[in-house]
Amino acid sequence: MAQKILIVDDEKSIVTLLNYNIEKAGYQTDVAYDGLEAVKKCEANEYDLIVLDLMLPEMDGMEVCKHLRTNKIETPILMLTAKDDEFDKVLGLELGADDYLTKPFSPKEVIARIKAILRRTQKSTPTNFQSIRIGEITIFPERYEAELNGNTIVFTRKEFELLNYLALNKGKVISRDQLLSGVWDYDFVGDTRIVDVHISHLREKIEPNSKKPIYIKTVRGLGYKLEEPSQ
């Protein structure tokens, strides 16, 4: 059965364009024209991915994203924004969006991002169910959970995948482009700010002091590495 994608945008011309190209690429589609309708549809149906515009009536894309993640709906989200505003992009990622595109965009680029996200989602099911212990952090791949000092840490799906990827490569310096390839499954050089935002969020959740990290270290000019904290 074809994977099903929900398109959420209040501009009918954009919906028509997306609907045509996404169906042409072999996916099923459903549409919503405002944020409230999108939330109701996501609560009543299962989708493989949501293409979500930022500026929506009733409830904007940020609110939709926050509501879904708060209610444990982890459907991957590709956020669309007409704003060339770094704050909006960063906030969208922090609220749980998996990726974003700035309007105007080409249909080919949208399809490429959709395929990358879905490919990564399919591949992200852990095959190694053994827990990983680093310092006071214990990672449980099969449950998509981690504990810090015995307390469960709440992550978005992408935050967990990033943490797990770093843990599987403990002690190794991983470049931003490698993380884009390994975690986001981009086979091209993407926007590495996506990586930086998620690293920042991970640090807020696992580091005693996010400004002086003891787990996720920045290796200037190269990338990041996860390591055992020094005694």
Region of 141 on the Ramachandran plot (φ > 0 left; ψ -120 to 50 alpha; else beta):
alpha
Do both 136 and 117 map to the same domain? no
| 127 part of a folded domain | no
- Residue 186's pLDDT is 63
Count of structural domains, the chain: 2
Do both 10 and 118 map to the same domain? yes
Give the structural domain span for 23. Answer: 4-122
CA angle in degrees (0–180, nearest 5) for 21-105-3: 35
- Residue 165's pLDDT is 93
pLDDT higher than 70, residue 58:
yes
Distances (CA, A) of 24 to 33, 82, 102, 106, 209: 21, 24, 22, 14, 48
Do both 143 and 108 map to the same domain? no
Question: 191 pLDDT band (50/70/90 cuts)?
Answer: low
Predicted model pTM: 0.68
Do both 163 and 117 map to the same domain? no
What average pLDDT score do residues 121-134 get? 70
What average pLDDT score do residues 195-210 get? 92
Do both 11 and 86 map to the same domain? yes
- Residue 117's pLDDT is 86
- Residue 87's pLDDT is 54
- Residue 98's pLDDT is 83
Contact status, residue 145 vs residue 152, Cβ threshold 8 Å: yes
- Residue 123's pLDDT is 57
Helix (H) or strand (E) holding 133: strand 132-134
- Residue 23's pLDDT is 96
Residue 229 DSSP one-character state: P
CA 111 to chain centroid, in Å, comes to 17
pLDDT higher than 60, residue 189:
no
